[in-house]
Structure 1
Amino acid sequence: MSIVQVFFYSLVMSQQKLERLKNSYLDISDNFEIGWNIFLEQKNNLLWFLLILNLPIAIIEQFVPDPDPQGGFDSPFIIPFFIVAMLIGIIINLAIHILTEKSIMQESSQAIFTLKKVSSKVLIALLTGILFFIMVFLGSLFFLIPGIYLGVIFAFFTEAIALRNCQLDAFNYSRNLVKGQFWKVFGRLLILGVSLVILVLFITVPIGFISVVLNNLPIISFIISVISSLIIVAINYLFVIIFTVYFLNLDYLRNGLPQRV
């Protein structure tokens, strides 16, 4: 297949994805299919995130002691490490949201420029993330149901921040998307969540067994642990894309295509 043929094939596939997203409610299989295709299309950018941002975190993590079961910290570096890791996770998630929609719209983007674009949104994403956690946690204290309800109606707040330039009104934007179809959205999110857990367990349980067997070889065990962490991160990338595809589907159906600037 020539370069020209590849270009036009990619363009046609992109238009087909866009038409499906804006004209019909996707089946779960469509979510996975489109998400996987975008994952492959963005593999170079995602690999950049993985090696430049996540690999150092995965390596440093091997030297950070686990928190004391009684609530203490054996090392003063534990809290700073987790804060930095959390911020990097937020930055990458915001960037993946943007790369996903750009892929749908057949707009090219490079990882470094996408990171620059989300830099101004990290603080608001962090603050709203903390607020989201507090609301869901407090809601879960009351027979769990309020926490689940809040978790579903506000599930798309990070996508609203990354893609629709929302700030604190990101919660309202998410609520409007879910309005009138709570149970449909709840079911889809449940399927995606269970699928993520199953896939992570399918990958990590055998790796964990191998790591225990090779425990007498510290270097090999170290390498396996780092690789395991990176595999989990890559799986998370995929599901962030799939989740973003679902957001875009709901958003295009309710609000139409956004103006491109």
Structure 2
Amino acid sequence: MTRETALSVPVALTIAGSDSGGGAGIQADLRTFAFHCVHGTSAITCVTAQNTLGVNRVDALPAAAVVAQIQAVVADIGVQATKTGMLLNQEIIQAVAVQVRELKIDNLVVDPVMVSRAGAQLIDDAAVVCLREQLIPQAKIVTPNRYEAQMLGGWEIKSLADMQEAAKGIHKLGAQAVLVKGGGMSGDLRGVDVWFDGEQLLTLTTSLVETTNTHGTGCTLAAAIAANLAQGKDLLTAVQLAKDYVTTALKSALSIGKGQGPVGHFFPLLSQSSERS
């Protein structure tokens, strides 16, 4: 007779949208949690019809449905870290912010999905204000891309100095730390991120991976930070390990579909599969 062995593992929660193409959002987050041996739970905020070529449709869930998912997970399973992604509208953002406060959700990683890497605004101005005033102040870390940092910081970002000033400005919104991502920058600043926690102002770099298959990198980075926090790592270490993970996943990015493919979240398994074929 085989005895059942119950394993105790860290738990992380993602509050984000569903990507039908499987490259970003909830799907990317759960893959990232699994890779880090963290049990992934989810609260879906919206359902998208999308693929590697783009987004065709977005349907928001009622804020009450998002709240019910969060409460169900926290009440029974509990979470050691939480990551937010696409929250879509003011009602959902406000509802999530209330739940974070009332349920005392710790280790909150806010990926402020407001602007695409190409610079297109994804949520309306009222939602941006709500994100700034109600959710970001509760964050352990906020991870804006170049254009999101411009919106949150209030000025155009063209240089490393601009990224540094943006990080300092965004930190004043109340998050414990800020990571301004340089994936949307050009030249030598591509992939260079700026960290600020109120004391340390650091430039974090990794090797640059030349690939057009980068769909889901922002979601994956934030989810990896959350996974490392769930495992008990300190914040800066969690960020550095997450950057390394994304870099390696980009080296095994998937060439699927006719557009921008996703990163290879399970790159060791992909390597094994390639060796067998």
TM over 0.5: no
User: Which one has a larger percent strand, Structure 1 or Structure 2?
Assistant: 2
User: Which one has a larger percent helix, Structure 1 or Structure 2?
Assistant: 1
Higher-RCO chain (CA-CA 8 Å, sequence separation at least 6): 1
TM-score norm. by structure 1 comes to 0.30
